[in-house]
Structure 1
Amino acid sequence: MKRRHFCAALTALPFLIGTQHARASSPHTTFDLEPRSINPRYMLIGPQGSAVSNEDFRGRFQLITFGYTFCPDICPTTLVDIAEALKLLGTDAERVQAIFISVDPERDNPQQLATYTAFFDQRIIGLTGSPALVQAAARNFKVRYEKVVGESEDPKNYAVDHSAGIYLLGPESTFIKKFAYATPPASIANDIRQLISSH
């Protein structure tokens, strides 16, 4: 049975830093993926409000994760891990584009995403889009997400239950593998470094 995690309201930034130490106790979705089952395609909106697609990063590896800025645990922990992997890669990180795709287009606009991702690492970009575009991207990557409304009367006070993990695309924008949630940043960096040396 696949497990899914429940993300609640956005918490303070100090909490985001501390989440890197609590990853082992957080529930999350995990599932094995065959390369042929993933269609690594997306067309979304970038930080400047312009269209961004997977084709824009040909020649570079892409590290992609899905989430939303109001997520209190899994998303910030994953972004901390990505930022650490980029740091460990050193100059090889220039061959990598890290991407955070929001599954909450109702609340996550390009400016908000830019501020959020920059907190973790300036090299991570946030992408959003219309609900239809986000759904298409998630469907292509086999990502599951669902809006969860609580008892609050505020229509914007809700959570989004979503799959966890990090997707790695190659320089030709082909799917290589999915790193499960809580994969150590050193393992991510080592895998990417080996791939870079073989290209």
Structure 2
Amino acid sequence: MMRALVMASLSLVLAACGGVEPDAAADIPTQGVARLSDQFTGDFALIDKDGKAVTDEDFQGKVMLVYIGFTNCPDVCPGDVGVMSATLNELGDKADQVAPIFISADPERDTPEVLRDYFGFDDRIIALTGSLEATSKALASFKAYAQKEELPDSALGYTVNHTRFYYLTDRNGQPEYGIVGGVGPTELAALVRRSISQ
């Protein structure tokens, strides 16, 4: 079911141009990478882990690396967030040209305080949340899927099924690439370097 939803969410992406352009450098991965159409706007108006209002326009001039997840995710999100952190390390002095952004798909639980604690391991990652309406609009701008699933036998109460992608924008905030989660930091850094150099 989840795989079907992921593939459905990518249908516009793949139809738009069928992946990375063929003249990409050899060290840049092509598997699990799709060029995004202009139907992906990347607009958001949220709050950060200090409660400060933040919009996509605040990052004009930087390449945004966006991941959508939630802090109560038991396995996938922690690994992907770790890859985001390691990618910044791989980028070295170029990391300051990147805005690494985490948008919560579970704003009911992911308060600014929760995000502040969760991302204490790497202050470079900009963790964002907001009202249900604001986060829904943000996810829609990336055409990301997120749906609560009740867990009646769990103390958590529910989990959130969501698409597993990194979104890479140009310096104007326009999403350019969707990268399936599970990629390694070396490969992700290669993609980010290309966006930085353009």
Same fold (TM over 0.5): yes
- How far does residue 197 in structure 1 lie from its aligned partner after superposition? 2.6
The question of 1:126 aligning with 2:127 is answered yes
- How far does residue 170 in structure 1 lie from its aligned partner after superposition? 1.3
Of the three residues 80, 83, 86, the one matched with 2:82 is 80
Of the three residues 42, 57, 60, the one matched with 2:59 is 57
- How far does residue 2 in structure 1 lie from its aligned partner after superposition? 5.6
- How far does residue 38 in structure 1 lie from its aligned partner after superposition? 0.6
Name the CA distance, whole Å, in 2 between partners of 1:141 and 1:195.
18
- How far does residue 169 in structure 1 lie from its aligned partner after superposition? 1.1
Name the CA distance, whole Å, in 1 between partners of 2:3 and 2:64.
25
Deviations 1:4-61 (A, max 9, x none): 7xxxxxxxxxxxxxxxxxxxxxxx9353523222111000011221210100011111
What is the TM-score when the length of structure 1 is the normalising length? 0.81
1:40 maps to 42
The question of 1:92 aligning with 2:69 is answered no
2:169 maps to 169
1:6-21 paired onto structure 2 within 5 Å = none
For the 8 Å contact 2:2–2:161, the answer to whether it is kept is no
For the 8 Å contact 1:109–1:128, the answer to whether it is kept is yes
**Structure 1 letter corresponding to 2:186:** A
The question of 1:29 aligning with 2:11 is answered no
Structure 1: gaps (5+ residues): 5-27
For the 8 Å contact 2:152–2:158, the answer to whether it is kept is no
For the 8 Å contact 1:101–1:128, the answer to whether it is kept is yes
Of the three residues 106, 109, 112, the one matched with 1:107 is 109
Name the CA distance, whole Å, in 1 between partners of 2:82 and 2:68.
14
- How far does residue 153 in structure 1 lie from its aligned partner after superposition? 8.3
**TM superposition outliers: structure 1 runs of 4+ over 6 Å:** none
Is the alpha carbon distance of 1:124 and 1:153 closer, same or farther for their aligned partners in structure 2, counting shifts above 3 Å? closer
Moved more, 161-170 or 145-154: 145-154
For the 8 Å contact 2:46–2:54, the answer to whether it is kept is yes
- How far does residue 196 in structure 1 lie from its aligned partner after superposition? 2.0
Of the three residues 115, 118, 124, the one matched with 1:116 is 118
For the 8 Å contact 2:87–2:186, the answer to whether it is kept is yes
Q: Secondary structure at the match of 2:64?
A: strand
Structure 2: gaps (5+ residues): 14-35
- How far does residue 107 in structure 1 lie from its aligned partner after superposition? 0.7
Name the CA distance, whole Å, in 2 between partners of 1:96 and 1:131.
27
Name the CA distance, whole Å, in 2 between partners of 1:148 and 1:187.
32
What is the TM-score when the length of structure 2 is the normalising length? 0.81
Name the CA distance, whole Å, in 2 between partners of 1:77 and 1:153.
22
2:144 maps to 143
Identity %: 34
**RMSD across aligned positions (CA):** 1.9
1:196 maps to 196
Name the CA distance, whole Å, in 2 between partners of 1:162 and 1:72.
13
| Corresponding pairs, count | 173
Name the CA distance, whole Å, in 2 between partners of 1:71 and 1:127.
16
